[in-house]
Homo-oligomer: A and B are copies of this chain.
Amino acid sequence: MSIPAEHRRIAADEVRLPPHALPDGRSGRILHEAIRLFAEYGFHGTSIRDLAEACGIRSATLYAHYPAKEHVLAELVRIGHEVHHSALSAALPGTPPGSAARLAALVRAHVLVFARYPLLAMVANNELHAVSRELAAPSLLLRADAQQMILDTVNLGMDNGAFDVPDPYLALTAIAGMGMRVAHWYGAASHYDPETIADTYATFALRLVGVEA
């Protein structure tokens, strides 16, 4: 990767994924290489020939696995959003609604996705606009639901006196936004462990909503 780090839109360059996130065989290999290329150059900045070459096959062969270039992206967007939504859903049980513990668990889960799987998260979040409306719809639902989990938590914490924020929606944008940006810088300069980042950001989120932490 001869591009200077600060000129790239993502600092990480190794594709990391949850176990079994991609299918085995050629279809999975295509998705794997597409994550790398789409994260680095964007969907429109990557040609079908670039992708084929990275996979060690001819471009025509891609069409035996996916009906169009767009479907490769759509699949990555779907996987990325499912990974994220699952992570947040899994953070709910065992934490009381509207509590500091719940907010911390949600933020930890949120940040861990962006720190552990930065390339996948980048593609899912920054290239979604290049997918057609129909193919993007399921991911948009998952995204809205994930956002609502955090907003509900902030709102309920306000109602029950656990939190104190000037504006719950702005707290949501700030908390969600700082986590999303981790995908861009993770892997640069200092080598932080994803767990460390997640814990620290959870602390930041609690402070942000007025909880001593």
Q: What is the interface of chain A, defined by CB distance below 8 A to chain B?
A: 3-4, 6-9, 40-45, 126, 128-130, 133, 136, 140, 143-144, 166-167, 169-171, 173-182, 184-185, 190, 192, 196-197, 200-201, 203-204, 207-208, 210
Contacts and interface: CB of A to CB of B under 8 A. Distances in A.
Contacts of A174: 178, 201, 204
A171 B204 contact: yes
Q: How many copies of this chain are found per oligomer?
A: 2
Nearest to A177: B181
Contacts of A204: 170-171, 174, 208
8 contacts: A7-B140, A41-B129, A42-B42, A42-B44, A44-B44, A173-B182, A174-B201, A177-B179
A9 B170 contact: no
B173 A177 contact: no
A192 B173 CA distance: 12
A104 to B, nearest CB: 14
A209 to B, nearest CB: 8
Q: Is the interface of A mostly helix, strand, loop or mixed?
A: helix
Contacts of A196: 167
A166 B180 CA distance: 20
Contact of A129 (B9, B140, B207): B9
Contacts of A207: 207-208, 210
Given A7-B140, A9-B128, A166 B203 contact: yes
A90 to B, nearest CB: 23
A190 B178 contact: no
Given A3-B133, A7-B129, 5 more contacts: A42-B42, A166-B203, A167-B196, A171-B204, A208-B208
A190 B203 CA distance: 27
A85 to B, nearest CB: 15
A33 to B, nearest CB: 18
Contacts of A7: 128-129, 133, 136, 140
